[in-house]
Chain A
Amino acid sequence: EPEVTQTPSHQVTQMGQEVILRCVPISNHLYFYWYRQILGQKVEFLVSFYNNEISEKSEIFDDQFSVERPDGSNFTLKIRSTKLEDSAMYFCASRRQASATEAFFGQGTRLTVV
């Protein structure tokens, strides 16, 4: 069964450092997402990506964040200068179409900023 894969599974980084979280969505999917879940809280939307550009972003997704699909298979989330409050589980997801289709999630990257 096709799956969304994320790397790394865990990342520990110093405050102020840049991190890149990587995702390989399902190959025939067109819509890609990053969500995050702070420990003990609900999952929150960060950004959606379609046709090589951001289609929607939340107020959380400020200038510190960026996304890229550099080579047609990988989908990355970059946090330029990490803060303690960026510590969370980050999930990548993909869907074949925009709506009325199932969302497939990766296993998540647990980011700890120290």
Chain B
Amino acid sequence: KNEVEQSPQNLTAQEGEFITINCSYSVGISALHWLQQHPGGGIVSLFMLSSGKKKHGRLIATINIQEKHSSLHITASHPRDSAVYICAVGRETSGSRLTFGEGTQLTVNP
């Protein structure tokens, strides 16, 4: 079983829709990262969080440490949000490396 599980694997939405991507993990973590991977392959950090909630523009990330669960929300989605969204965790017991989920392919249609 993967230590970091994301759902859904694929998500198609219409422009303007509210989107939620979920991440569950099974290990103790120091922090959880949400990353965006563009079609060309580059990876950009969106959020790093260890508790509560963070917001940046139309993106909101939440984490529930007790339930080992995080969500990434996109409000008023736009075709330019189309990308792979990846959840990654820094484990408490494995130094500073990140362990990645499989990613969620998001397609937002106009």
Contact = CB atoms under 8 A, between A and B. Distances in A.
Interface of A: 31, 33, 35, 37, 42-45, 48, 50, 55-56, 89, 91, 93, 95, 98-108, 110
Given A89-B41, A108-B41, 16 more contacts: A33-B96, A35-B98, A37-B41, A42-B103, A43-B43, A43-B88, A48-B96, A98-B96, A102-B45, A103-B48, A103-B88, A104-B45, A105-B35, A105-B43, A107-B42, A108-B42
Contacts of A95: 96
Contacts of B53: none
A56 B97 contact: yes
Interface residues on B, range: 20 to 34
Contacts of B33: 102-103
Main SS of chain B's interface residues?
A: strand
B26 interface: no
B92 to A, nearest CB: 9
Nearest to B38: A107
B76 interface: no
Interface string B72-108: 0000000000000010101000111111111100000
18 contacts: A33-B96, A33-B97, A42-B86, A42-B101, A43-B98, A44-B100, A48-B95, A48-B96, A55-B95, A55-B96, A91-B43, A95-B96, A98-B96, A99-B30, A99-B31, A99-B90, A99-B96, A103-B48
B45 A100 contact: no
Contact of B98 (A45, A55, A100): A45
A48 B97 contact: yes
B97 A45 contact: yes
Contact of A98 (B35, B40, B95, B102): B95
A56 B95 contact: yes
B50 interface: yes
Contacts of A93: 98
A48 B97 CA distance: 7
